[in-house]
Structure 1
Amino acid sequence: MGTEQRATSKDRLVTVTLDPNTITSINPDEVHEWRIAIYDLLEENSFKPARVSAEGPYALHMSIIGNYILLDVRHPETFQPIAAHYLSLTPFRRLIRDYFRIRDAYYEAIRSAQPFQIETVDMARRGMHNEAAELLRTRLTNKIIVDLNTARRLFTLICAVQPYASRIDEATSELPTVLFVCSMNSVRSPIAAALARQAFPGRLIARSVGVNGGKADQFVHEVMEEIGIDMSVHTPHILDELVANHFDLVITLSDDAPDAVQKKGLEAGDIEHWQVDDPSLVEGNRGVVLSAYRELRDGLRKRVKARLGPLIASGSQNL
């Protein structure tokens, strides 16, 4: 299948994002491995949720909850939910272990082994991948339709992200919880939540949502990449998608957010509003716009550290 055919096919993934609260790493090598796995999956795939009327192409948002990977299929432009399926990791445990064992053996063989030894390890690797792909397709029966090559690439991505799952059960966790809310969850609130996770890794649960649905913002990706945060994994969410109803602290960042939070009826130790400008409204050349995004980023970075430091120290807004 040529590139032009793949690009116009409806039954395929065009976006893959990861939940930053449940798939966490600050190691650049690990993040690079995720990116390679995502790139390979998006480069060529055949993917369609079963038993839904929505047409593709599709976006896939992945999170890890307990012993399950949540495959959340969405519209690639609006990020409206289409279908969501929980995939148990238990049947894949042996294959995931084999994946890393054979991968390490393959890298070692490339460095020092004879060609026939490399071929032997490579055959074992292909065999393991095929077995895992067939199992994955079986487990996704009547849920998601994928071909063998797509299943192989999806299994590789699962292997790449699952060792770094935070395994935090938000229902029972005693970590402080913070929710940032803005208009579309495209710029202000996701930047604030990402900065909070970077400043206090593993010490809080920081989520972000919008009053309405938004789109991914390339300027956000660019200015956050400058400080080592990968925002390409972000999927915009809206208030109505929230499962949790209680937060230690809710921070609103847009004029329409306070009323929306009040109507939602969230329980919170404290709710406060931060008046910040929306850089996506700035007009001018690329340099002017980037400067506005950097100003927002740097301002939020200082404010997040100053406000959340005491919350982290006390363990809860209510203490």
Structure 2
Amino acid sequence: MPQVYFLCTGNSCRSQMAEGFAKKILGSDWRVASAGVEVHGLNPRAVEVMAESGVDISKNVSTLIDGDYLMSSDLVVTLCGDARDRCPATPANIVKEHWPVADPAQATGTESEIMAAFRSARDEIEQRLLDLQERVAKKH
């Protein structure tokens, strides 16, 4: 069973959204997890916008990178430059992708503007996962 690991700085927004969508889109054919180079806790706005898309991540927990899981992954996706730069070295057989999704937790402005940033990040991550699913399907 292929295994994917989504990494971000704090495992609070983008990587959590990617994990939620991957479980929905890739289904039980994949082992899916997310982690951070730091632990910032699950962002409640990420939970809210994912619920709008029918994906419940409310029980997810922000975790640090697990070296064993990382080294046994088939695909490692970083969602921010910090995670890409600070991710531990991995063997050449592990496919690495970088999805530079803007950090919605850094958004400023009104509550509706901040939520729009979260929705934009969510929608970009969902599209990237749909694209990944299509690429995987073409290989088989």
Fold similarity call, TM over 0.5: yes
Aligned to 2:86: 260
How many percent of aligned residue pairs carry the same amino acid?
29
> What pairs up with 1:131-210 in 2 under 5 angstroms?
175-210=1-36
Higher relative contact order (CA 8 A, sep 6+): 2
> What pairs up with 1:3-22 in 2 under 5 angstroms?
none
Aligned to 2:41: 215
2:97 to 256, 267, 272: 272
Q: Which amino acid aligns with 1:189?
A: S
Aligned to 1:305: 130
Q: Which amino acid aligns with 2:61?
A: T
Paired residues of 2:20 and 2:56 also in contact (CA < 8 A): no
Paired residues of 2:25 and 2:133 also in contact (CA < 8 A): no
Quick one: distance in 2 between partners of 1:309 and 1:248?
A: 17
Provide TM-score, normalisation by structure 1: 0.41
Looking at CA atoms only, which structure, 1 or 2, has the larger radius of gyration?
1
Aligned to 2:115: 290
Provide TM-score, normalisation by structure 2: 0.90
Q: Label 1:312 to 1:185 Cα distance change in 2 as closer, same or farther (>3 A).
A: farther
How many residue pairs match? The answer is: 138
1:281 aligns with 2:99: no
3-state SS in 2 of match to 1:179: strand
Quick one: distance in 1 between partners of 2:97 and 2:114?
A: 27
In the alignment, structure 2 segments of 5+ residues that lack a partner are none
> What pairs up with 1:42-191 in 2 under 5 angstroms?
175-191=1-17
3-state SS in 1 of match to 2:109: coil
How far the C-alpha of 1:313 sits from its partner, in A, is: 5.4
Paired residues of 1:204 and 1:312 also in contact (CA < 8 A): no
Aligned to 1:107: none
How far the C-alpha of 1:311 sits from its partner, in A, is: 2.4
Paired residues of 1:203 and 1:312 also in contact (CA < 8 A): no
Paired residues of 1:176 and 1:311 also in contact (CA < 8 A): no
Runs (4+) of structure 1 exceeding 3 A deviation are 312-315
